[in-house]
Amino acid sequence: MSQHDVTRVQRFDHPGRGRERARPVPKGRQVDPRAKAEIAGLLGEASRQRDLLIEHLHRIQDTYGQISAPHLAALADEMGLAFAEVFETATFYAHFDVVKEGETPVPALTVRVCDSLTCAMHGAEDLLAALQAEIGGQVRVVRAPCVGLCDHAPAAEVGHNFLHRATPESVKAAVAAGDTHAHIPDYVDYDAYRAGGGYATLERLRSGDLTVDQVLAILDDGSLRGLGGAGFPTGRKWRSVRGEPGPRLMAVNGDEGEPGTFKDQLYLNTDPHRFLEGTLIGAHVVEAEEVYLYIRDEYPIAREILAREIAKLPPGGPRLHLRRGAGAYICGEESSLIESLEGKRGLPRHKPPFPFQVGLFGRPTLINNVETLYWVRDLIEKGAAWWKSHGRNGRTGLRSYSVSGRVKEPGVKLAPAGVTIRELIEEFCGGMAEGHSFAAYLPGGASGGILPASMDDIPLDFGTLEKYGCFIGSAAVVVLSDQDDVRGAALNLMRFFEDESCGQCTPCRVGTQKARMLMEHGVWDTDLLGELSACMRDASICGLGQAASNPLTSVIKYFPDLFPTPRPMAAE
């Protein structure tokens, strides 16, 4: 019996009978000895500290293909946690297959088909139906939200092997061959990066040849902003954290889950040390001795590359912790990210206090996006004038636009900030796909709204789209054509938000569900949808609920032809 078991003593008094001997009855869920031995062996010498709960759940999932109730109970016992704490965390994340007592175990292999907007436009529904019909009896075939391969739509995942432009034949071939692991591409490794001058800037900073004040001045002069979506000035954020009493921490938001966004994945998979050097520079500036890199579970290639390359870094500097998400879009929100890093459900925190004041483990925490840190080295070495020399239409800097949809050449397009959608399509994407005419676009991913092709002259940058009820966010641009259903696109996005809502607040949890149900009707009640959208926007705790209705409201506003005015009823 473990130290966490509680024993109660039952006594029965009956008239005419003597008092019975006390009978100990263990209270709570009992730990199966076999499961306990398996979990102890699986964890080995790894720490049992609370914040590693999600990492240990991944170990179980990876080893057994599922997480059984006995293993959950054994893990709780091993880590000194209540079973409820472990259960609520495991069941919160989509990539943990928790098998409750009495349930049928899941198949050994799962095939996931992305059904987010761009994949849906390229036939994901037909692919899903074909796979369920043809191999559904052999493996589990399920839907999945965006996996970050929008430029290779439709995407499917066989185990941890992601298939580009998937077909029933390519998926079945991977299943038959047992090809279930991520394939690591060529990338700039540590030696190649050092040969190209890498880490020289970090060494100058550590030696004192480059001062912290100089770094902050360059960031300010260059106007580098957070490129994960919020656009907060980077220099100001670093100063705010540095101004808080230590000890301080740093966390990197690599949970790139916005449908249409895949830029961070490209940079992590091709030039990881440029990102790592920016990270170490940020940690030095705010004097963070511990850095937590949170990478979404859908990016196994990036995680493997980072694990390899972090091991090659010379000793000294902050300790880097590589942490793995578990399939929760909400963890891209910074306070949800912190909760997940602490091994909990990714529920957003109320603000204030803000993370730079009270963040990870209650300490002041610097949180930056992957791409923001990726540009730090170049900005310092080339200067603010270099960064500001780029830009169009009155904007400055560079932006990495993730472009997908009906264009000839989708992908990450490094372009001047402020480029218009027309310029982006014609100059950087080779024009529209054959047989398609430009009809509409998402300027900022799933939550950034939908605009008609007639509004093609708006600079795509921070602060230029808000007056239209949209925003640039992480610069995920999805291009729709005359062959796409704009209302169907908005419905696809609302289904995504409904599925990804953490459920903590009623406006988002219920609002996304009710909006989806109303949008499934042939005729939209635009007045009621407008009221519902306002409630979600004004009362939701975090950005998911606040922005979930943007595609809906923009479609109603900018595509009036889709909503004919109801004719009055004829008089009897």
For 402-450, the DSSP string reads: EEEESBSS-EEEEEETT--HHHIIIIIS-SBPTT--EEEEESSSTTS--
* Residues 303, 441: Cα–Cα separation, whole Å: 32
Q: Is the dihedral of CA 247, 252, 255, 258 positive or negative?
A: positive
The pLDDT of residue 571: 47
Beta partners for residue 98, in sequence order: 67
* CA quadruple 136, 142, 143, 147: dihedral, nearest 10: -110
**What was the pLDDT predicted at 569?**
45
pLDDT tens column, 366-417: 999 999 999 999 999 999 999 999 999 999 999 999 999 999 999 999 999 9
Distance between CA atoms of residues 144 and 135, nearest Å: 17
Q: Which structure tokens are listed for 495?
A: 């289904």
How far apart CA 384 and CA 516 sit, in angstroms, is 46
- pLDDT under 70: residue ranges of the chain: 1-28, 565-572
Strand-pairing partners, residue 481, are 438
Interatomic CA distance for residues 429 and 431, integer angstroms: 6
Q: What is the pLDDT of residue 4?
A: 47
Q: For residue 488, which of 452, 516, 527, 469 has the smallest C-alpha distance?
A: 516
Question: What pLDDT, on a 0 to 100 scale, did the predictor assign at position 23?
Answer: 53
Span 234-254, pLDDT tens digits: 999 999 999 999 999 999 999
Please state whether the predicted TM-score (pTM) of the whole model is above 0.95: no
